[in-house]
Structure formats: C-alpha cells, structure tokens
Structure 1
Amino acid sequence: MKKKLVTSLALATCLFLAACGNDAEISSAEVEKKADELNMTTTEAARSELTKAGQKAETKDGMLELLKMKAINKTIDVSPLAVTIKDMRLFKMTNVTQEHIDILKIASQAANDIKDEYVYVQIRYEVENKEDKNIVWEGLKHVVTDKGQQVDRLGNDIIYTEADSLAPFAGKVTKEFDDGFIFKLEEAEDISKIKFVFAPSMDGETYEDITPIQEAEYSFE
C-alpha cells in the first residue's frame, strides 16, 4: 500500500512539474497559430498569450518574456472623458532580430540604442466620452518611472492602434488604447512604479482646455 502511495505521489509530482514547465514557455507553433488566426504579428500574438510573470514565448522577432504585470482597473476623471486603466505589463525581448529593431526605430527614438535585447512597458486603457459634444484629446502624454526616467508618448509609442490617430471623440463613444514604451535597459527590470501623465481634454469646437493634465501612479507590487 505504501509503495503504491509513494508511486502515486511521484507521478503527481512529475505531472505537476511538467505542467509548470509547459505553463512557463509557449511554443513558437502556438504563437504562430494565434497570429494567423487573429492576423497579428507573432510578437503581438505572444504578448496576448503571456499572462503570468516569468512566462516566455518564442516569436519571429525574438524571445519575449513577461517580467511583471499589474491589473489596475481604475478610472481617472478627465471630464467629460472617463479614462479606465486596465493594466500595465513589463516585457523583455531577447535575441532580437535586426529586422525587428529597424521597425521599432520607425516608432521609437529609444530603439536606436537596442543591440539584441530591450525592455518595454505595455499600458492598456479604455476612454469613454460621457457627453454628446466632440472632445479632442491627445491621450497619454508621457510615463515616468520610479528610477527617474521619463518617456514621451509622441515619437516613442511602439504599439500602434486606431485610437492613436487622435481623431476627436465624436459624441458618446468609447476608444481602446494600447501603448508601449521602451525603457533604458540598465534600470528597466528594477522598475517598481510607473506614473501616467494624461493630456487635458479639449472642446472639439474651440480647442479650449476643459480638464487639466491628470496624473496617476501605480505599483507592480
């Protein structure tokens, strides 16, 4: 009886370790399948698949690892806009291809310093216009880390979505934002807090400020 119990425990341990191993790294085949299904790049697909710190996924651009993540789900009043920050995630990309670096250089000045690895933060937020009038809003102005680094959104956002077009909020509409910023490699992995600085909301007719610049800081811990 004892022998059967020991054998069962050993088998359960092996299965647990195997499951952990599979959970820690997503295969390139899985990533490519997801990318094909959703018409994404493999890096975009991998980013959507990584949900736990320490997970990795092999992409055509390099090896992507999720270092830290924080679910936020907090709403900031940029009247008449309600800005709901969903989450922030810190990624590291290693074994980066030159083609990927060249593409990043088009979007971000920080990409000029990339050799074969870099770290970046992804911020996802939803913005709802609560009023019928047109509102002009420039979105996230910049992010500031607790290591003293400031990265401006203009000229540095490596994740492009339709919301980045800066088209007015034509009445009561909702837009989904997804921004990404490269940090200095030597301090990036030690980042524990990030402050978001949002642009003022402006009247779509007069371009006068309605709500001033708003700030919010969140910790990964």
Structure 2
Amino acid sequence: MKKYGVLFFALLLCFILTACGNSLSNANTKEQEKDTKATESENDNSNNNTQEDSGKKTLDKVGDSLYDLNTGTVTLNAMKDISNKKLIIGDLKVNFLNAKVITITNLSDAFKAELIENFGGDPKEFTYAQILYKTENTGNDEISWRGFRTAVTSDGQQMDLNFNLIMGLPNPSSIKMMAKSKMDDNMDWIPVNKDEKSIRLKGENVLKRDNSKDDAIVYGKEIKMDL
C-alpha cells in the first residue's frame, strides 16, 4: 500500500507541476500579446502622428514654417494676392493667383546638390518667389507655349528660369493646349532676395499648330507684379 501511496503522490505532484507550468506559460503568452498590442498601438499612433505632420504642407500666413524632407526648413516671408493680374498672348490667357516669397534653410543634401548644379557656390539657404497661375486657350486652334523662361528683379538682375524644368517644377517647357481648354496648377520659382518687392516676368511666344495662319506666331510679352 505504501508503494501505491508513494506512486500516487508522485503522479499527483507531476500533475500539479505540469498545471503550474501551463499556467505560467499562458500568463507569459498573454503578457507577450499585451506587449505586442501595446507596441502595435504605439506604432500606429506614431504613424498617425507622422502622417499628420507630413500632411502639413501649406504656408498660409507670413511667418509660417515647416520642415520638408526633400528641401529643408521652409519659411514664408511674404504673400500677395495677384489674381487681378492677367497676361494675354494671342489666344493664350494667363490668370495669376498668388505670389509667395519663401526661404529654405537647413537644406537637404539632395536639394543643396541641385542648387549647386544650377547656381554654383556653396548655398546655405535659398530664397525664391513662387508664382502660381492658370492658363487658358481661348481660341479655336491648338497652341503651344514654353511658359515663363526669363525674369528680372527690381534691381535689374535678369534670371534664367530654365532651372524650373530641371527641378521638375510645373513651369511649362512646351505645353500644348487643345482649342478652348484650360490648365491649372502652373508654378514658377524665381530666385530673389528676401526683401524683394517686385519682379518682371517674360512669357514666351505662343505658336499655333496651323502655321499657315497669319497669327501662327504671337510674340511673347512681359508683365510686372508686386510681391
């Protein structure tokens, strides 16, 4: 009987130890799941915060500043409504929207490399006037236009705007417009000083697809605007 009693006690002890082991294992598993969920929740919140921060991509009032990974720290120095400005070259009508003077500091390596390639030197910051405009072909013929390729600052400094094309900005290089059509969201960058007050923009010639017409070429015009 004693042998059976000892054997029964040993089996009971094994059962108890196994149950305890399973209990501890389940507790550890649940704790790990809790930690995992907490980490996932933290990551989700982090992602949401990053998306919210990256979503702030507009400069609405003078003094506003934001960080852009592609360029650097972007600050709005001045902003002006220029919607009263229009430029008509043949069948092309350009409706201006607004002008902003913007300075970029803490330049990203990639953006700094682009500036060096286009302007040389060792830039620490970059200030430019950003001009937004829309285009409309008011005629019955298809036309083409190369946008604004030259600007002159208030102190008479002439600027070549071809760098807009190299940097991928939507300043038309050879835009083609169907008859009676419109295009929005055109943009020009003009390098200026922070205290620049005005610029002159030169619009390129407007060409009709049918070059047999008397007005197949309408020569470009310039326009002055305050900043």
- Supply the distance in 2 between the matched residues of 1:213 and 1:115 (Cα, whole angstroms): 33
Aligned ranges 1:174-189 → 2 under 5 Å? 174-176=182-184, 177-183=186-192, 188-189=193-194
Q: How many residues align?
A: 173
Change (3 A) 1:125 1:197: same
2:75 corresponds to which of 65, 68, 76 = 65
How far off is 1:210 after superposition?
A: 3.6
Q: Which residue of 2 aligns with 1:16?
A: none
1:213 and 2:220 are equivalent in the alignment: yes
- Supply the distance in 1 between the matched residues of 2:168 and 2:151 (Cα, whole angstroms): 15
1:119 corresponds to which of 119, 127, 133 = 127
C-alpha RMSD over aligned residues: 2.5
- Supply the distance in 1 between the matched residues of 2:82 and 2:131 (Cα, whole angstroms): 10
How far off is 1:156 after superposition?
A: 4.4
- Supply the distance in 1 between the matched residues of 2:225 and 2:97 (Cα, whole angstroms): 12
Q: Which residue of 2 aligns with 1:192?
A: 197
Q: Which residue of 1 aligns with 2:107?
A: 96
Q: Which residue of 1 aligns with 2:136?
A: 128
Query: Which residues of structure 2 form unaligned runs of 5+?
Result: 1-48
- Supply the distance in 2 between the matched residues of 1:119 and 1:174 (Cα, whole angstroms): 30
How far off is 1:67 after superposition?
A: 0.6
The C-alpha deviation readout for 1:139-197, integer Å capped at 9, x for no partner, is 11211110222212223454523x635132122211231121334xxxx1121111111
The C-alpha deviation readout for 1:76-99, integer Å capped at 9, x for no partner, is 111211111111111001111212
CA contact (8 A) 1:200 1:209 kept: no
How far off is 1:102 after superposition?
A: 2.1
Q: Which amino acid aligns with 1:199?
A: E
Task: Tell me the secondary structure at the aligned position of residue 180 of structure 2.
Answer: coil
CA contact (8 A) 1:168 1:204 kept: no
State which structure, 1 or 2, has the greater radius of gyration over its C-alpha atoms: 2
- Supply the distance in 2 between the matched residues of 1:137 and 1:125 (Cα, whole angstroms): 14
Change (3 A) 1:169 1:150: same
1:137 corresponds to which of 145, 151, 157 = 145
Q: Which amino acid aligns with 2:66?
A: A
- Supply the distance in 2 between the matched residues of 1:145 and 1:99 (Cα, whole angstroms): 27
TM-score normalised over the length of structure 1: 0.69
Change (3 A) 1:159 1:194: farther
1:82 and 2:90 are equivalent in the alignment: no
Q: Which residue of 1 aligns with 2:176?
A: 168
Q: Which residue of 1 aligns with 2:61?
A: 52
- Supply the distance in 1 between the matched residues of 2:116 and 2:140 (Cα, whole angstroms): 39
How far off is 1:104 after superposition?
A: 4.5
Percent identity over paired residues: 23
CA contact (8 A) 2:209 2:216 kept: no
CA contact (8 A) 2:115 2:123 kept: no
Instruction: Answer with 168-177 or 62-71: which moved more.
Output: 168-177
How far off is 1:55 after superposition?
A: 1.2
Query: Which residues of structure 1 form unaligned runs of 5+?
Result: 1-26, 35-44
The C-alpha deviation readout for 1:62-87, integer Å capped at 9, x for no partner, is 21100111111122111211111111
